[in-house]
Amino acid sequence: MPCSFLLSFPALPRFTKRDLDGGNIADDAAALCDAIRATFFLSRSIRKERTLWLAFAADSALVRMAGATLRYLGPDERSTLMLVDKATDVLDTHPGSPGKWIESTPGVSCMPGIDPGDVLALVAADQPGRMLVDPEFVQLATGARPGIGFSPDLPALMATRDIVVAMSLDGSHAASWAGSAAASRLSEELINARILGCTGSPTLATRILAVNMIDDHASGGGP
């Protein structure tokens, strides 16, 4: 089923092409790269039914990556971050275009000047009828067998509804992002689903992979 991810980051990662060529990748850029790859990549193809929304609060910026039209995304770190670099260039050079989508590369659109508190409302308006899920990642008991577990009702939900899964790099819940009145009302409709059990602290990419695994299971593609 179609599934979208809405990811919140403190700020746009900053790097140069020389950094990429030398493999000098900061932690925030690496986390973003891993999240993009976890969203879209299958072993031999791209997940076309995925849309990735990236919100960068400090920059008042929003980036949308659509799997159906995405181009130039390779499995290597450099090609992935080059798409981010081109999006950053667009956001930096069009600060006076709030509320307008600007395409940086095929399948990647950027919106500068958006109030971080309005992101939830914008995503909901752009994708009407989709259910917003604010996942809670539950730590397994000490001594439990390592792995991933999820509530059996979530695959049924994902098999029948298009969903937007909201997550942040720091683990804060999407309900706390709301700033405007519209976003505040929307935050009340978020489903705080307990979908993942794990040992340790899962990375953002691990959380995304877990949701994709649940969707594969719900769609009959899992074990």
**pLDDT tens string 145-169:** 555 556 656 666 677 777 888 888 8
Domain assignment present for 223: no
| CB distance 32 to 208 below 8 Å | no
Domain assignment present for 180: yes
The pLDDT-based confidence of 223 (bands split at 50, 70, 90) is very low
CA-closest candidate to residue 169, choices 141, 142, 201: 201
Per the structure, the count of domains in the chain is 1
Query: pTM for the full model?
Result: 0.86
**pLDDT tens string 163-220:** 888 888 877 777 777 776 666 666 666 776 665 555 566 788 988 888 888 788 766 6
Domain assignment present for 92: yes
